[in-house]
Structure 1
Amino acid sequence: MNQPKPSFFSSAWPLSPVSRALAVVLFTAACGAQAQQAALREVTVNDSSAAPQADISGFGDVPLRELPLSATVIDSQQLRASGARRLADLTQFDASVTDAYNSAGYWDYLTVRGFVLDNRFNYRREGLPISAETSIPLDNKERVEILRGTSGIQSGTSAPGGLVNYVVKRPTEQDLRTVRIETNSRGSLLGAVDLGGRFGENREFGYRINVVSENLKPITHDLDGNRNLFSLAADWRITRDSVLEFEIEQSRKTQPSQAGYSLLGSVLPRPVDPRINLNNQPWSQPSVFKALTGTVRFSQAINSDWRWSAQIGQQRLKSDDRLAYAFGCGAEGNYDRYCSDGTFDVYDFRSDNERRTQTAGSLNLKGNVATGSVKHELGFGLLQSRVRNRFQDQAYNYAGTGNIWGTAMVPANPDATTPQTNRDERSTELSAQDAIRWNDRFTTWLGVRHTRLDRSSIGNDGSNPTGYKQDVTTPWIAASYAIQPGLLAYASWGKGVESQVVPNRISQYANAGQALPALTSRQWELGLKGGNDAFNWQVAWFDISRPMTNLDLCSGYCEVRNDGRAVHRGLEAGAQWNQGPWRLGGSIAVIDAKRRGSTENPALNGQSPTNVPKEVLRAQAAYRVASVPGLEIAGQLSYEGRRNVLPDGSITLPSWTRVDAVLRYETRLRGVNTSWTLAVDNLFDRRYWKESPFQFSHVYLFPGAPRTLRLGVSIAL
């Protein structure tokens, strides 16, 4: 029986000293500013049509087109129009972003620039670190920011592909009353309410409420589920220069997860019927993901040049991870693929009551200083976070033999006898940055972050305790030059760091439980950006070198150590054009990713990583029909090139192309603004393997979804 959940402000929060201090600062600052409320003046509101900005860049006040880095911002309008529900749906917006083991009913993984983002360290919400080992709803997100490349100045430790930051919807200036209903050809039904506005004598109080409920009926058989969300964002404009913001969201998703397909012996099978469910045993249970997340932030302008802010947030996750797990072929001695006759080993996997808690607090100071004709845009930050993950014994038991047709039934074997590992982490990060504007054209950008890590783990039965402390410093430097108005050239160099510890298995690893030297990635990037409000474009070349270890290749008793590098070089290009009735956009990425310098397995040298396509193209087009006011016809094309299925490159996945189409119609019915959407995903009903992740030392194949119709209506009351 579940224990009652503590309230968001409960004293049960495991706050660190810095977090406690932040809470006091927030409360004291708000109370102090309240005394000035009598002098409340008009607050300047940002124009929503302004050039896109990305908080995740670390230079949130500077438009993206002026920054010497690559990022994509996906706003709420794009999310709604595309029908995006989950992180995996965001791959359609950026050619540098692809899938990485995205199974229905499970949490999502992304690959950026050929590197899989770490769900523990590469995700942010409102700028604070969170875990993405859960289902994160998009319905209450104002935008999703994806930074591409190493992230040493934005994050203490993270994989080198980039970072993802979720920004929640904020109170609106005008009253907002929107109801949205959406369904698809399988019978899924979504209902959503979005309310916003301001009140008070001087409209100093704002609110934004999102309520969502969806009955999930995917195309795959026996994979029905449901999800719901409640979120509240509020702010208090205490004075013109003082703002207190608060937001909280609670979500729940329950749905069975789909097991992936695999190779049949040494053969890549033809794409299968995506409606077949390999997790259809009579005893299969849905996975359940619950989340309670919120932040409080206080911002104060000191004068016209300087301001500071304090923020504290917490994420509390509870998961029940369950699956009739198809894994390997014991009959043929292959544990990384299925049997050649289409059968496979089935395991009863159940990991209930997984609890992950992350608390983070930050202090930031930003301002401008002029030394003669040279201007400095300075930023200083302190971030402290604490992670506490607790697990019960899990079931991972052999249950029998299944098959790829989903017709074999096997008995349950649910005894939870496999111990797991509890983890704790504390980190403190100090950062500084300076954008030095020498003149109207030339700017140099400097940044550095120092991180102190304190990590420990212990078996949930009290066995095999281990821990380590580590200090890492990650610098970043860039230069940009405005060749002419609307044309910027830049170059950047930076580091990113990953910190790993050898699993505490003394029977397998000679250095079990020991921390490895920090794995320091390095990136060069050269780019051009140009355009205006109607047309903008960007081209970037990157070179990322990341240290690798032999951990995944350690099949006997061995010492885990660094083993060569992964070198990813590539070219990215993107453009958007809006002119008259037309909207055109697209991006392309060409990646040359190779393993180099491996001594444990030299055969891998020169090979591309698994599940990384060599070329990716995304293209969008929309046309507003002048003869029918409010009607827009839109289409999207996605192409992904060949990729390695096996690490040695002996089997590759063919390229694929998919076309989606959308009709949108906006009108007024009885004085009410109404928007209709009719979308067809996979218009030509192509059958293809969408991705081939090599996950958990096993080859998986996920088919593309068949043709699906989606109908939605949004009413602004």
Structure 2
Amino acid sequence: MAPIRFFRTPAAAAASMLCLSVYAQAPASTNLPPVTVVGRSDPVVSVSGWGVPLSEAPLQASVLSASQMKDRGVQRIADMVKSDASVSDAYNSEGYWDFLAVRGFTLDNRFNYRRDGLPINAETSIPLDNKERLEVLKGTSGIQAGTSAPGGLANLVVKRPGGASAYSATLGWRERNSILTAADLTQRFGAEGALGARLNLAYEDLQPQLRDAKGKRHLAAIATEWRAGADTLVEFEVEHSHRSQPSQPAFSLLGDRVPEPVDPRLNLNNQPWSQPVVMDANNASLRMTQSLGANWRGTLHALTQRLVTDDRLAFPYGCTSATTYYPDRYCPDGTFDYADYRSENERRRSDALEIAMHGETDVGGMKHTLSVGLLQSRVTHRFERQAYNGVGTGTVDGGTVVPANPTLNDENTNRDERSTELFARDAIRLNDHLTTWLGLRHTRLHRQSVRTDGSRDTNYEERLITPSIALSYTFAPQQLVYTSWGRGIESEVVTNRDRFTNRGVALLSTSRQLEAGLKVGTPNAQWGAALFQVVRPQWGNVGACNAAGSCTRVPDGQARHRGLEANAAWRDGPWAFGGSLQLLHARRENTLDVNAEGKRPVNVPERTLKLQARYNVAALPALQLQADAMGVSHRAVVADNSLSIPGYGVMDLAARYEQKLIGSTITWRAGVDNVFNRRAWRESPLQFDHVYLYPLAARTFRASVEVSL
């Protein structure tokens, strides 16, 4: 999609004219409070909805700031798994969009992602060059989403103009020979700096360690703000990104055995006809904040997102060439079925508008911190016919060449969704120590789907309520205990195929979470822990499912995830330490498959430990050394837990040096990921009804230099 078409949306056009008009308008005064940079140790996690520092909120969340991303060499959302023990991989492939699992549940890329708090579709490559931070809210997400998978929400916070003009440029290198150039420019204009603009540009030539995966990407984004008066702030931002790169198919079981970890540089998408996955994304938002006096403010926030994707892959899937048929894994001899998969010109659009009021009031001698509002959203997915054609037999050594067959012989599914959500939140301070947190969201949902040939149409409406409640007790400054309960809902529909006896019927899954936590903050340390339980219903098929009327989709028990999370961070002179731990007891209960009863879900580790140490070199104060270590226990590969991949440990090292020159700062960074070049299976996702194995990435060196003025 050409970028110019993006500005034809009403919100973008209005905001563009507004930003241009400010040069001709001089505000009477600009008494809005200055932009506040929140300390890294106690950020306000906006995705929580409460607007209070994390140390005061009755929930668990993690934040990865822009500075931390640079120091750790973070390239994509999937790299969040290095920072928090509660976050794990869930089918993360080079050259494709990212999947995260939180507390053992895979987040839904259609419903569990936010951009500055508004819903977006994460079925695309999301650049981080213009993001101030990445937030992950852990726990049932019903308070912030009408429908979503349990586990949590991910929120991307866009970089906004700061309080002063600033300029920086970055040149980065990553093994084998990926080169990144980027610029981050902020300028204030007008009387008393009433207008601000922040421009982010990036271009990267992608030549990763993975073979046959060369590509490129670029980003252009601008965020503006206008302090139109003492009580009015108008913010507009627009972003265009492009990524073109062949993606990475996973490996799999070889019959009934787990193979030894392969060379992680090997790419099975290496056919002469393999084409890149191309992802274009356009985003724009307009936000207006108006002070209403007496500790009240109103916000109007609109967002539009348009995605265009060419999804293409030499796709290994299953085994039909062996004596025994394996529909969900590769053959014992290391062969597999190859398919030529192409789904081009996929168009996804998301629009959202939120109107809300936030404020404080005293009722009956108790302080209420209130938020009420309405969120309307619309989602459309438009696809064309796709190719999914068997083209021969491949081998896991990547040495087999098969012919292409791009014939478009398979139908796709178009989808539409409209939702209206009414929400209210109230934090009631009962006294100096005790606070009750109440949340309620009512959702009216309308979904439709139809195949690209007009068949299998579905159409249904639902009204949903997702409440939450928490109680916190502050027994000392920045020290509290809390307990909470929340509910989330997922909604799906039985596909309208004649094999199903209940085709077209809407299915609701109501998940529930209980949590109890402790947070402690001191001048030199912060630590906390939480016990949680999440219960999520499951669905499955009963019957042969190979003829008309032979299959029924029915409840298939539930997944119960009980766990302990702990985190800590402290300083001791030149040293700084941090870490997080998750112990997770996840089980399937009351399942249709007796072999899966009481077993662990696939690709969910029971134990995860992540540690970090930083040292400021006394003899050279501008030099900081950093080490990150991660240990993950074994993961089940199949539902009956008869096969699993071993746990592994990996270490990354990095260094940062700041060089002060007249009027500027030069920051040198260098690092090596997977220092000991450990070979292991990183994850074992069950995706598209197939067992997959992804290897841990090879040892990779990286370096960058950033000049800031």
Q: TM-score, normalised by structure 1?
A: 0.95
Alpha carbons 2:595, 2:639 under 8 Å: kept = no
Q: Does 1:58 align with 2:49?
A: yes
Superposition map of 1:412-491 within 5 A: 412-491=404-483
Shift of 1:7: 3.0
Q: Deviations over 1:364-390 (max 9, x none)?
A: 101111024310011101000000100
- Report the residue type matching 1:412 in the other structure: A
- 1:515 equivalent in structure 2: 506
Q: Deviations over 1:661-713 (max 9, x none)?
A: 01111112565311111101001111110001011111111111111110111
Q: Deviations over 1:323-343 (max 9, x none)?
A: 000001012310111010111
- Report the residue type matching 2:49 in the other structure: G
**Overall identity of the aligned pairs, in %:** 48
- 1:577 equivalent in structure 2: 570
Q: Does 1:377 align with 2:369?
A: yes
* Separation (CA, whole Å) in 1 of partners of 2:174 and 2:15: 48
Shift of 1:424: 0.3
- 1:149 equivalent in structure 2: 139
Alpha carbons 1:26, 1:310 under 8 Å: kept = no
Change (3 A) 1:25 1:354: closer
Q: Does 1:139 align with 2:118?
A: no
* Separation (CA, whole Å) in 1 of partners of 2:680 and 2:122: 28
- 2:485 equivalent in structure 1: 493
Q: Does 1:260 align with 2:267?
A: no
* Secondary structure at 1:202 match in 2: helix
Alpha carbons 1:554, 1:560 under 8 Å: kept = no
Alpha carbons 2:685, 2:692 under 8 Å: kept = yes
- Report the residue type matching 2:97 in the other structure: W
* Secondary structure at 1:65 match in 2: helix
* Separation (CA, whole Å) in 2 of partners of 1:642 and 1:28: 55
Superposition map of 1:21-100 within 5 A: 37-41=27-31, 43-49=33-39, 51-60=42-51, 62-100=52-90
- 1:568 equivalent in structure 2: 561
* Separation (CA, whole Å) in 2 of partners of 1:519 and 1:45: 41
* Separation (CA, whole Å) in 2 of partners of 1:339 and 1:627: 58
- 2:219 equivalent in structure 1: 229
Which of the residues 123, 143, 158 maps onto 1:168? 158
Superposition map of 1:177-576 within 5 A: 177-332=167-322, 333-506=325-498, 508-516=499-507, 518-551=508-541, 555-556=545-546, 557-576=550-569
Alpha carbons 1:523, 1:542 under 8 Å: kept = yes
- Report the residue type matching 1:291 in the other structure: A
Shift of 1:251: 0.2
* Secondary structure at 1:37 match in 2: coil
Shift of 1:580: 2.5
- Report the residue type matching 1:375 in the other structure: K
Pairwise CA RMSD: 2.1
* Secondary structure at 2:349 match in 1: strand
User: Number of aligned pairs?
Assistant: 702
* Separation (CA, whole Å) in 2 of partners of 1:29 and 1:436: 39
Alpha carbons 1:608, 1:649 under 8 Å: kept = yes
* Secondary structure at 2:608 match in 1: strand
- Report the residue type matching 1:573 in the other structure: A
Q: TM-score, normalised by structure 2?
A: 0.96
* Separation (CA, whole Å) in 2 of partners of 1:97 and 1:254: 27
Change (3 A) 1:409 1:249: same
- 1:592 equivalent in structure 2: 585
Superposition map of 1:618-629 within 5 A: 618-629=610-621
Change (3 A) 1:303 1:102: same
Q: Deviations over 1:134-171 (max 9, x none)?
A: 00001110011100110111000000010001000010
* Separation (CA, whole Å) in 2 of partners of 1:10 and 1:487: 50
Which of the residues 637, 644, 652 maps onto 2:636? 644
* Secondary structure at 1:550 match in 2: strand
* Separation (CA, whole Å) in 1 of partners of 2:285 and 2:523: 34
* Secondary structure at 2:69 match in 1: helix
- Report the residue type matching 2:257 in the other structure: V
- 1:16 equivalent in structure 2: none
Shift of 1:605: 1.2
- Report the residue type matching 1:234 in the other structure: T
Change (3 A) 1:178 1:4: closer
Change (3 A) 1:552 1:253: farther
Change (3 A) 1:29 1:207: closer
* Separation (CA, whole Å) in 1 of partners of 2:241 and 2:436: 43
* Separation (CA, whole Å) in 1 of partners of 2:541 and 2:146: 23
Task: Flag structure 2 segments of 5+ consecutive residues without an equivalent.
Answer: none
* Secondary structure at 1:339 match in 2: coil
Q: Does 1:695 align with 2:687?
A: yes
Shift of 1:464: 1.9
Q: Deviations over 1:398-433 (max 9, x none)?
A: 000000001000000110110101000000000001
Shift of 1:37: 2.5
Shift of 1:239: 1.5
Shift of 1:82: 1.1
Change (3 A) 1:471 1:224: same
Q: Deviations over 1:284-334 (max 9, x none)?
A: 000000000010000001003111000111000000000000001012310
Residue range with higher mean Cα deviation, 667-676 or 393-402: 667-676
Shift of 1:484: 2.1
Superposition map of 1:671-682 within 5 A: 672-682=664-674
* Separation (CA, whole Å) in 2 of partners of 1:71 and 1:265: 40
* Separation (CA, whole Å) in 2 of partners of 1:490 and 1:31: 48
